[in-house]
Structure 1
Amino acid sequence: MERCFIREAEMKNERRLRIMTAEGELRGLMDEDLFVFKGIPYAAAPTGALRWRPPQPVQPWQGVRNATEWGAASWQNRDFCVAAGGGDPGCFSEDCLYLNIWTPDVEPSRPLPVMVWLHGGGFTMGAGNLDPYRGKALAAQGVVVVTLNYRLGHFGFFAHPALDAQYPVGGVINNFALLDKIAALQWIQRNIPAFGGDRHNITLFGESSGARSVLSLCCSPLAEGLFHKGIVQSAYSLPDVPQKQAQQLGLQVAAHFNLPENVSAEQLRELPADRFWPLERPLALAPVPISGDAVLPKPMLNTFMAGKQHRIPLMIGSNSDEASVLDYFGVDPTAVLKQMRSKNRISYRLMKWLYDLHDDALLGRAVARDMAFTVLPLIVAQSQYNIGMPAWRYWFDYVSENARDLYPHGTWHGNEIPYVFNTLDTFTPLTERTYSAQDKAFAAKVSAYWIAFAREASEFSAHLTGEVDWPVWRAGEDITLALGDRGKAEAVLKKKFMRGRLRLFRLMMRSHVKL
C-alpha cells in the first residue's frame, strides 16, 4: 500500500512539473520536495541586430521545453568570478537572458511571496546559478525564489552616438542590463502565478551591483509597479556615470577596435562578442549605471535625496569590512588617508577623533568603508522616512567561527550572502574552513528576517518579526539591527549607530550631489 502512495505522489509531482507559461509549456525538476525550473528564457537572445537594443519578447514554442539546465551567463572573466564572484558561472554567450525558479508548491492554497535575486559582481561578472544563490533553503520557508542572468560589461551598459541616434528624442537606451531586469520582472508578472507565486507581492533583492540595481529600479519610471518592496545589501555610493561621459567611453572603445570615426551601429554590432570583456581601464566600465537615458533619467542618488523614488518599503544595510572589495574599485584606503593628511590636516584630525583610531591603515580602511558603503543606508533610510515609507537598516558583523583569523576586520563584502540564502549546508567556502553549528543556526535567523520582510512588509508596517522585534527606521531613534555583535551569533538593536561620522559623510555627499 505504501508503494502505491509513493507512486501516486510521483505521478502527481510529474504532472505538476509541467507548467504552462504565456510563452509555452515547461518541464522542471524535483529537488527533494521542491520544484526547480532552470534556464527559462525571459526575453529573446540579444544577439546580432538585437545587441544594444531593449530586450524583445520570447518567441512562443510548441511542445514541452525542458527547464532542467542552467542558461548561459553573459561574457566575463571566469577566473575573476571564481575567485571573487561566488563561483564558476558556467557557459558564456550573448544569449544570456534566462531565469531560474524554486517553488515549494505550484498549487498553494494561497499565492506565495516572490523573492527576485539580482546578483552582484560590479556589473561585469556573475550569474544567477552560482552556489551561494541557490534558492532551495529560502523556498523551503514558503516563498518562490527567482534568480536571473542579465547582460554584463559593455553589453549591459553602453553609449555611442551611432547607437543613440537610432532612438527618438528622450527615448535613448544605454542601461540595457537594467532593462533586462525590467523584462524579467514583466515576465514574472505574466507567469509567476503558474509557479504558485503572488504577482502582487514581489520583493526585489540584491547585493553589491545587484543592490545598486534595486536602488536604480526604485528610480526608474519603467519599473514602477513591477515590484513591491526591495532589499539592498551592500550597495555602494559611487555616482552614476553621466550619459555624455558614457558616450566618450563608447567612442574610445570604438577607436580601440580601429573602427572609423563615422562608424555605423551595424559595424559596432559586428564586433566579436568575446573582445569586450578583456578590456581594462580606462576602457573598462565603472561599476555603476548610466544616468540620463529613458531607463534612469536622473542619477539614483539625486532621486533619493529629492525623495522622488518609488513609494515602496525597503530594507538596506552593509557589512563591517566592506573595504575588502575596494581594490576592485582601484581604491587604496591608506593612500586616500595619506592624501587627506597632506591636503587637509583638519579633516584628518577630525577623522582620527571620530574613529578613535591611530593606525593609518586601520583608519583608512574604516573611513573608506563608511564613505563608500555605510553612509548610503542612512541616506536611503532618511529619504524613506521623509516620504512616509518604511525602511529597516541593518549592519552585518558576523564572521564564521572557524575563519575569524582570516577576517580580522569583520565581515567581507558579500560574505553575508550564504547567511541570507541559508546555504551554509551546501555552500563550500573558498577557504575550505567548515561552517560550525553556530554559524548554521545564525544563518537560519538571518534568512528568517529576509523571509519576514518578503511575507509581511508593507507601507503600513512598523516592525519586522525575528529573533528580536525590528522596528522601522525613524529619524529620532535611528535604530539599526546589528546582525552579529562582537563575535556573538545574535541580533542586537543599536540606537544612533555611527551617528556622528555618518552625518558628516552625508553632508559631504550632499555637497557633491546637486539636487
Structure 2
Amino acid sequence: MVSFSTSAAQSALQVQTTKGQIEGIYAQESDVYEFKGVPYAKPPVGDLRWKAPQPMESWQGVKQAKSFASRPMQLPIFGDMNFRSPKISEDSLYLNIWSNDLTPQNKQPVLVYFHGGGFIAGDGSEPRYDGTSMAQNGIVTVTVNYRLGIFGFLAHPELSAETDYAGSGNYAFLDQVAALHWVKDNIAAFGGDPQRITIAGESAGSMSVSALMISPLSKDLIAGVIGESGSVVGSNLSTNSLHTAEQNGIEIVNKLAAKSIAELRKLDAQQLLDKTAQQQLIWFRPNIDNHFFPEDPLQMLQKGQYAKVPLLAGVNSQEGSFNQVLGERPPTVENYQTAVKQLYPEHYQQFVELYPATDSGSVMDAAQELASDRFLSYSTWIWAELVNRGSEHDVFYYLYAHPRPQLAPEYDDMEPALAGGLVKKAKDKPAQPSSRGAVHSAEIEYAMGNLASNKVFDWNDDDYAISANMQQYFINFIKTGNPNGSELPEWPEFADNQRIVIDKQITTQDMSLLRKRYELMSAINGFDLKSGK
C-alpha cells in the first residue's frame, strides 16, 4: 500500500513493509522515489554486539526514511570516501532504496549493491553508489550498510560458545544475508521483483557478493551476481580457519586489556574503536565459521556448491602499482628481475617469462600487472573460472582500462593514494606516480552512472560515453542475465576464453596468457588449476 502527500519540490509518500509503514520522498527533479535509512535488523548494540542480526520488531505509526542513517563504526582510512550519512554509530544496520515505479505489478529487476572498503570502512550513502541513475533505467536499487572491522569480524571461543553452530565472526556477512531477506520480503512494495535480485559490489563488496553466492544461507536469494575487483578466494582477505580466527580473537582481547567478551561488550563503541586503532587492530578477515561458511569457500566452489546464476565479474588495469613490486628502485630490467626473484625465489624464471620486460616501459607494465594479480585480479579470475566450470549459466569477464581524467582545477593540490583514493600532496615527500591505467575503484561511478556526483575529476565527453556503455552493459545483465544488447559491441562469454576491455574503444582480449599466469599462481597456492584439485 502506498499513500502520497504533495508539496511543491517533492512529495512525501508512505509504503507498508512487513514491520510497519515508512515514509520516503518522491524527488521530482529525478522522477525517482527515495527511501533512505530503512532499518532491516535490530541495532547490534549492547548484548547484541557480536551476535547475528536480529529481526526488527513491528512498530506503530510511520518511520521517517528521508535521510541517510549513520554509517558503521570505522576510522577515516580511504581518501576517496565521501559520506552523506551524518555520523558513525554502532546502530547502523540500514539500507537505502531508489525506484522510479512503486507499482508492485510491474516487478522491476532489483540491484542490491554492497559497498567496498576492505571490510573496515565504507557506507551505502556514498554518492558513487547512488541508485538514482539505475532507478531511472528501470532497476530498483538498494545499498546496504553492514558491520565493519572488529564489530563485523571478531571471532573468539566465548562467542563461538554462544552459538548453536559453535562458530563466531562473519557478522558482516550475516548482516548482508539479513538485508537480502528484507529485500526479498519487502521489495515488491517498492516496485521490485523479489525473484530477480542481482547482488553487486566492488572490492570488499565484490568479496561479499562472492561469499553470498557461495554461502548456503544466501545462495537461494539471488538471481545474478556482479563482482568488481575481488573475491573471497585467492586473496589476502580470504578466509581463515575458525581456529585461527578464534586464536586471533584471544590475542585481540588480550591486547585490548579485557578479561572477557562481556567486558568488551560494556565498552562504548567509540572507546572500542579507539582502542583497536591504538593497538593497530584494524584489519580483519572472514573465517570458516561452520555456519555462513560450513567449509572452505574454495572447496565449495570446486564442488559446485554455490548459486547457479549468471555472473559478471572483472578487474581494473591498475589494481596495483608497479612500485608495489619494485619499491623505490628505478624501473630497470635488472631491478625488476631482482624484485621478482625476491618474491618468487623458486619460480622466478617462470614469472619473468609470463610477465616479460625488456625496457623501462615494459618493466612498469609487467610489474603493474603482477602487482594487480597479487592484489585482487587473480582472486577475481579464479572465482569466475570455477563458477564457469560448474554452472550452466553464462559467466562474463571484463578488464576496465580507462584512466581517470585530470583532477578538476580546484583539486590540483591532491595526489593518488591508497585504493584509488586521494590525499593532500605531501610537501616533504616525492609525488606519487600518476595513474598508468584504471586504478582500484575507478570504475564505480562509470558503472553506476554517477560521474556527475564526483566533483574531484574533470570529466569529459569520453568519460560520459564510456560510462554510458559500461552502465548499459550492467543494466542489460541485471535485466536479462546477459550484458549484450542495446547496439553495444558484443561481449564474449568467459567460456570462450575471452574478456571484454572497456576503454574509449571497446575490444575483446584472449585470456590464454592470463590462464598461464594463474595456473602458476594456483600451483604455488597448492591448487592445480588444470585438474581443478
Compute the TM-score of the two structures, normalised by the length of structure 2: 0.84
The residue aligned with 1:347 is: 347
SS at match of 2:518: helix
Q: Does 1:277 align with 2:273?
A: yes
Q: Does 1:23 align with 2:14?
A: no
Compute the TM-score of the two structures, normalised by the length of structure 1: 0.87
**2:340 touches 2:352 (CA, 8 Å); kept in 1?**
no
The residue aligned with 1:479 is: 498
Aligned pair partner of 1:437 in 441, 444, 461: 461
Structure 1 window deviating more from structure 2 (359-368 vs 155-164): it is 359-368
SS at match of 2:210: helix
1:361 shift after superposition: 5.8
The residue aligned with 1:495 is: 510
Gaps of 5+ in 2: 328-335, 408-415, 417-431
Q: Does 1:373 align with 2:376?
A: yes
Identical columns (%): 29
Alpha-carbon distance in 1 for matches of 2:355, 2:485: 31
Alignment of 1:11-410 (within 5 A): 14=11, 17-31=13-27, 32=29, 33-78=31-76, 80-81=77-78, 83-87=79-83, 90-107=86-103, 110-168=106-164, 170-236=165-231, 237-238=234-235, 239-260=238-259, 263=260, 265-278=261-274, 279=276, 284=281, 286=283, 288-324=285-321, 332-334=324-326, 338=338, 340-342=340-342, 347-358=347-358, 359=360, 363-387=366-390, 388-402=392-406, 407-410=434-437
What amino acid sits opposite 1:396 in the alignment?
A: Y
Alpha-carbon distance in 2 for matches of 1:423, 1:180: 26
**1:229 touches 1:314 (CA, 8 Å); kept in 2?**
yes
**2:25 touches 2:34 (CA, 8 Å); kept in 1?**
yes
**2:475 touches 2:483 (CA, 8 Å); kept in 1?**
no
**1:377 touches 1:393 (CA, 8 Å); kept in 2?**
no
Alpha-carbon distance in 1 for matches of 2:364, 2:281: 28
SS at match of 2:37: strand
SS at match of 2:258: coil
SS at match of 1:225: helix
SS at match of 1:490: coil
**1:425 touches 1:440 (CA, 8 Å); kept in 2?**
no
| Distance change >3 Å, CA 441–CA 38, structure 1 → 2 | same
What amino acid sits opposite 2:257 in the alignment?
A: N
**1:159 touches 1:246 (CA, 8 Å); kept in 2?**
yes
**2:84 touches 2:125 (CA, 8 Å); kept in 1?**
no
SS at match of 2:402: coil
1:339 shift after superposition: 5.7
1:501 shift after superposition: 2.2
SS at match of 1:162: helix
Aligned-CA RMSD value = 2.9
The residue aligned with 2:440 is: 413
The residue aligned with 1:3 is: none
Superposed CA offset, 1:409-441 (max 9, x none): 201100000001111122222xxx310012112
Alpha-carbon distance in 1 for matches of 2:205, 2:317: 19
| Distance change >3 Å, CA 344–CA 108, structure 1 → 2 | closer
Alpha-carbon distance in 2 for matches of 1:67, 1:384: 38
What amino acid sits opposite 2:320 in the alignment?
A: A
What amino acid sits opposite 1:38 in the alignment?
A: K
Alpha-carbon distance in 2 for matches of 1:427, 1:456: 29
Alpha-carbon distance in 1 for matches of 2:101, 2:279: 49
Gaps of 5+ in 1: 1-6
Alpha-carbon distance in 2 for matches of 1:462, 1:447: 10
1:490 shift after superposition: 2.5
Alpha-carbon distance in 2 for matches of 1:277, 1:338: 41
1:347 shift after superposition: 2.9
Q: Does 1:428 align with 2:449?
A: no
